[in-house]
Amino acid sequence: MIYEEIENLLPKWNELLAIASRIDTTKLQRQLLEKVFAAFKLFKPLRYSMVKTSLSFDQDEIVIGRWIRLRSIWQDYGSPVDGPYTFLALIKAQGEAIADYVRKPIRSDFREAARIAAQLKLFEDVSQTNTFSPPLKFVYFKPYASDQFERGEFYAFHVEVNSRMPSHVIFKKSLSGDFYSRFSLSLRDIRAATILQQTIDHLLPLYRQLEAEIEQTKTHNAKLFQKLDDITAPYLIKQSLR
């Protein structure tokens, strides 16, 4: 009986899990940053001699050599920007100006790549909240003592889903941040089946709305990445032939 009920729930449950995977803005943001970083790495070496520029980023002087470096006042030539997390913000702020200091053969492409990267949208955390009137009542079971379970009831006035942790669902008695007035569950926990059986038809619209909103950013960025790929394709081929 329990097996059959869970099996009947699986199509909608798997849809929730699939959407949750696609709207994870932490993962999407990391992929965005890594892709931009990898694309600009194809332009290396940016130049063959080190030059201190008149440009700055986050109070550090920008130095250009084989790669971009950030120099504090106590350093000679600074340290290379060797990770994607600082890099996109740097390119958005100073990318086109940095192009003035790179080798002439790559200058035009570097500048255009920087112009495109500046238009990319970051994947910001997005949340969706639904209000229940009357409140949504659901039943759950929790450990009681060391060898027993007991039945519990929760009256949810609100439910919230956030793209930063999309497999977690928070039911709330109020919109306040009171920890004790909320009930959380993980879509990846089989023990959530009992609650999902009672709530999944309320959750699917929230997840679909989140995906629709995040899809706009994906579509916007995909067009820009196609342009970026077109610019860097010759450099990728050249690198593969080395």
Query: What are the pLDDT digits (tens) for 55-113?
Result: 999 999 999 999 999 999 888 888 999 989 999 999 999 999 999 999 999 999 999 99
> Would you give the distance in Å from CA 51 to the centre of its chain?
35
**Which amino acid would we find at residue 241?**
L
Count of C-beta atoms within a 10 Å radius of residue 152:
12
Q: Is residue 221 part of a domain?
A: no
What gap in Å lies between CA 130 and CA 160, rounded to an integer? 7
Q: Is residue 16 part of a domain?
A: yes
SS3 207: helix
Q: For residue 101, give its domain range.
A: 29-123
Say yes or no: 94 and 143 in one domain: no
Q: Is residue 238 part of a domain?
A: no
pLDDT digits (tens, 9 = 90+) for 170-201: 999 887 767 678 889 999 998 888 889 889 99
Q: What is the pTM of this model?
A: 0.88
Q: According to the model, what pLDDT value does residue 43 have?
A: 97
Say yes or no: 118 and 41 in one domain: yes
Cis peptide before 134 (omega within 30 of 0): yes
Say yes or no: 34 and 72 in one domain: yes
Report the number of distinct structural domains present in the chain.
Answer: 2
pLDDT reading at 34 higher than 70: yes
Say yes or no: 48 and 119 in one domain: yes
Say yes or no: 108 and 43 in one domain: yes
Q: Is residue 155 part of a domain?
A: yes
CA dist 180 → 90, 171, 172 (Å): 42, 11, 9
Cis peptide before 45 (omega within 30 of 0): yes
> Would you give the distance in Å from CA 57 to the centre of its chain?
24
Q: Is residue 226 part of a domain?
A: no
Say yes or no: 115 and 140 in one domain: no
Say yes or no: 176 and 187 in one domain: yes
